[in-house]
Structure 1
Amino acid sequence: MLTLYSFGPAANSLKPLLALYEKGLDFTPRFVDPTRFEHHEDWFKQLNPRGQVPALDHDGHIITESTVICEYLEDAFPDCAIKLRPADPIRIAEMRVWTKWVDEYFCWCVSTIGWERMIGPMARAYSDAEFEEKMARIPIPEQQAKWRAARAGFPKATLDEEMRKIGVSVAKLEARLAESEWLAGPDYTLADICNFAIANRMQHGFAELVNTAATPHLVAWIDRINARPAAQAMFAQSKSEMPAPRPAAAA
């Protein structure tokens, strides 16, 4: 049995979620609500002591880290008709260069801007006491520091540098996709899934950088992946599988 704990089809949670749909594997989606800090509740930290999603439960064995989960699915289900990792060792290496790059560079600069735009206002809405109570439940000191930085507002120099890195990332993707339909060669692989998880919707959130005039190949690649039956099923079904809003507590 497979159970995926995630925030739904966005960012790092999207990687294994889309991989599962692409491979046609039966699994139980368990959506964890980040606005209620469910990933920091004790029940979830028993699964992943770091209090982070995604986490895959395969017959009681917990696999964490989004890209590792994607690779694990290739190893654990080698007989699936859909292969998301090339057979050629050279192509595998190329794929892993792209997944390493997104994990160590591309994801982080986009994440910082996302934290500034979305997490910061949410963090500032809490009282000091409420905020500290939530920080006490976060098991990773670096993650606590990031929440505090977002609440205070990231320095302009930091935001400017992260935007510069996003520009570098966008240019790198556009240049590669001008040469090849997919990132790691002629076939759609985990390189595409892992980068799509971060790049999807950048044409809306970073329209000044990602648009049909400046980055036609990147936009076309985003559209190609969104048009895949697995991606369409993932987005459509995830909406119905998200937990319903909880009623507000009585005053």
Structure 2
Amino acid sequence: MLTLYSFGPGANSLKPLLALYEKGLEFTPRFVDPTRFEHHEDWFKKINPRGQVPALDHDGHIITESTVICEYLEDAFPEAPRLRPVDPVNIAEMRVWTKWVDEYFCWCVSTIGWERMIGPMARALSDEEFEAKVARIPVPEQRTKWRTARAGFPKDVLAEEMRKIGVSVNRLEMRLAESPWLAGDEFTLADVCNFAIANGMQNGFSDIVNREATPHLVAWIEKINDRPACKTMFAHSKSEFADRGRKVTA
């Protein structure tokens, strides 16, 4: 039995969520509400002591870290549709892209997201409420990040992160101008993991991600959104807020 705990179809939570739908695996989605800080509640920290999503429960075995979960699904369910190439060279190419998104692309986009969304959420709390929430965060670095977001990230930090986003967008555009998918001719975890961060940038970062400046990147985002598994994921995820324990079959 598979149960995925996540924030729903966005950012790192989207990676294993889309992988599950692409592979056609039956699973139980459990939405963890970030606006209610559910990932820092005791019940969830029993699942992942770090208080972070996504987390996959496979017959009582807990797998964490979004890209690791995606690779785990490839190993645990080899009979399901593949999201990892067969050829070792192509596997290496795929992992270059999944490593890059985890170590570079995700972080710069995340900082801007924290500034735009988490900061206002944190500032809406009273000092007492905020300190009570922060006290429940198990990872010291995350407590620091929440305090920084509440105060507002320094302008030089935001400027540097925007520069890195520009570098990231350019790298994706250049690659997709020469290849239909990031790791070659096949749709792989390279696309799943980078799509998780890039999807929506044509709205949130429309000055640099648009049909004129990045036609290949926008076309790739739209192509993935048009995949049946992706459409099903978004359609089913809308009801996760109301029915978090519903079992679905992709």
The whole-number CA distance in structure 2 between the counterparts of 1:20 and 1:242 is: 19
The alignment partner of 1:241 has SS state of coil
The whole-number CA distance in structure 2 between the counterparts of 1:62 and 1:76 is: 13
Q: Report the CA distance between 1:242 and its aligned residue.
A: 1.8
Partner of 1:198: 197
Partner of 1:36: 36
Work out whether residues 107 and 198 of structure 1, in 8 Å CA contact, stay in contact via their aligned partners in 2: yes
Partner of 1:188: 187
Q: Report the CA distance between 1:11 and its aligned residue.
A: 0.1
- Residue 4 of structure 1 pairs with residue 4 of structure 2: yes
The whole-number CA distance in structure 2 between the counterparts of 1:243 and 1:153 is: 33
Specify which structure has the bigger relative contact order, considering alpha-carbon pairs within 8 angstroms and separated by 6 or more residues: 2
Partner of 1:100: 99
Among the aligned pairs, what percent are the same residue?
81
The whole-number CA distance in structure 2 between the counterparts of 1:203 and 1:233 is: 21
Q: Report the CA distance between 1:199 and its aligned residue.
A: 0.1
The alignment partner of 2:56 has SS state of strand
Runs of 4+ in structure 1 deviating by more than 3 angstroms, as ranges, are none
The alignment partner of 1:204 has SS state of helix
The whole-number CA distance in structure 1 between the counterparts of 2:118 and 2:239 is: 25
The whole-number CA distance in structure 1 between the counterparts of 2:240 and 2:140 is: 32
The whole-number CA distance in structure 2 between the counterparts of 1:139 and 1:243 is: 28
Q: Report the CA distance between 1:240 and its aligned residue.
A: 1.3
Letter in 2 for 1:42: D
- Residue 176 of structure 1 pairs with residue 171 of structure 2: no
Partner of 2:124: 125
Letter in 1 for 2:183: A
Deviations 1:156-195 (A, max 9, x none): 0000000000000000000000000000010000000000
Partner of 2:247: none
Letter in 2 for 1:6: S
Letter in 2 for 1:120: G
Letter in 2 for 1:30: R
Partner of 1:58: 58
Letter in 1 for 2:206: A
The whole-number CA distance in structure 2 between the counterparts of 1:112 and 1:152 is: 13
Gaps of 5+ in 1: 245-251
Partner of 1:17: 17
Q: TM-score, normalised by structure 2?
A: 0.97
Letter in 2 for 1:17: L
The whole-number CA distance in structure 2 between the counterparts of 1:243 and 1:144 is: 29
Q: Report the CA distance between 1:243 and its aligned residue.
A: 3.3
Deviations 1:140-161 (A, max 9, x none): 0000010000000001000000
Work out whether residues 31 and 243 of structure 1, in 8 Å CA contact, stay in contact via their aligned partners in 2: no
- Residue 212 of structure 1 pairs with residue 207 of structure 2: no
Deviations 1:26-77 (A, max 9, x none): 0000000000010001010001000000000000000000000000000000
The alignment partner of 1:47 has SS state of coil
Partner of 1:247: none
Work out whether residues 31 and 242 of structure 1, in 8 Å CA contact, stay in contact via their aligned partners in 2: yes
Q: Report the CA distance between 1:241 and its aligned residue.
A: 1.9
Aligned-CA RMSD value: 0.6
